[in-house]
């Protein structure tokens, strides 16, 4: 298999910088893999790593990260704002240059089954790698969280691979294959988390809101403020600019202004071009109007 694959694991640790450094070093230890980004959030108590390279090397780096994370993280003492069911909560593989979605599905299945066997951790497959329709959406799998998973693992949450028993420290893991998504947060100038939760409910697709948008409302500290946290699954359906506009409109109706936006991980060039086109009303702006894009294969 040739080409380039991206992997964007989310791990349940965002506060202990030494532990996060060791996980990043585990990724870097694999030849041929480039660690493109690492983003950690104290309130969510979560870190997102973005790395890419040839498929075999990326799969090896994902295993190296799992080994390191399972040594570092004990979910019995983990607390954070973000929902999670595992120390390594979700591991998506994303096809880039010269790689197909079908190849990434095969990687996700092979990787997930290997982790399940090696570590005796229950594993679920989601998105394009889902083996059943009710597991396409990550929030549906993660709904019981680590604390509630044991109560449903024999019924609605029988694993796709591994034991039907929650690992005491590592919990469970979700692996999958998906197109590029944008993790995008908007912080509000209010400490009233009810405002953020209401806006999130109104804009997410599952509640009849914006297409291809997942959203939750969170309460953050240092300084205290509320946050609308979003995953934009397909910016051809809902752009960053539209997501911002919908949040801003609803917040303004409550007399609340936006403090700032926050990008978690990386985003595709075309999405950035789209934001510029929307903001400046530049009809027909595309990547071929960007100087640097002419030097990108």
Among 44, 78, 82, 157, the one annotated catalytic? 82
Pairing status of strand 173-177 against strand 88-95? parallel
- Alpha carbon of 212 to those of 174, 195, 224, 245: distances in Å? 20, 22, 29, 16
Pairing status of strand 46-53 against strand 88-95? unpaired
- Alpha carbon of 169 to those of 27, 66, 179: distances in Å? 21, 13, 30
Q: What tokens were used for 152?
A: 């449903």
109 in active site: no
Residues 6+ apart with CB under 8 A from 76: 168, 169
Asked whether 99 and 5 are in contact (CB, 8 A), the reply is: yes
Residues with catalytic annotation?
Answer: 82
């Amino acid at each position: 298999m040739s080409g380039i694959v991206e992997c964007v694991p989310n791990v349940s640790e965002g506060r202990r910088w030494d532990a996060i450094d060791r996980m990043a070093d585990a990724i870097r230890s694999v030849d041929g893999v480039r660690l493109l980004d690492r983003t950690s959030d104290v309130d969510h108590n979560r870190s997102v790593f973005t790395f890419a390279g040839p498929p075999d090397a990326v799969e090896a780096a994902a295993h190296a990260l799992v080994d390191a994370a399972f040594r570092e993280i004990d979910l019995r003492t983990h607390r954070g704002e973000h929902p999670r069911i595992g120390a390594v909560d979700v591991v998506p593989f994303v096809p880039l240059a010269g790689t197909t979605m079908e190849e990434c599905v095969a990687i996700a299945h092979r990787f997930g089954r290997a982790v399940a066997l090696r570590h005796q951790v229950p594993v679920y497959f989601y998105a394009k790698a889902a083996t059943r329709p009710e597991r396409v959406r990550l929030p549906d799998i993660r709904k019981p969280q680590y604390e509630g998973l044991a109560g449903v693992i024999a019924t609605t949450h029988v694993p796709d691979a591994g034991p039907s028993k929650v690992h005491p420290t590592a919990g469970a893991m979700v692996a999958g294959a998906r197109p590029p998504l944008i993790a995008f947060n908007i912080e509000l100038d209010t400490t009233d988390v009810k405002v953020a939760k209401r806006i999130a409910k109104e804009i997410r697709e599952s509640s009849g809101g914006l297409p291809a948008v997942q959203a939750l409302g969170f309460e953050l500290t240092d300084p205290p403020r509320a946050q609308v946290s979003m995953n934009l699954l397909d910016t051809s359906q809902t752009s960053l600019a539209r997501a911002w506009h919908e949040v801003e409109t609803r917040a303004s109706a409550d007399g609340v202004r936006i403090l700032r936006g926050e990008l978690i991980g990386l985003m595709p060039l075309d999405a950035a071009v789209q934001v510029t086109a929307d903001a400046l009303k530049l009809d027909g702006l595309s990547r071929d109007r960007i100087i640097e894009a002419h030097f990108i294969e």
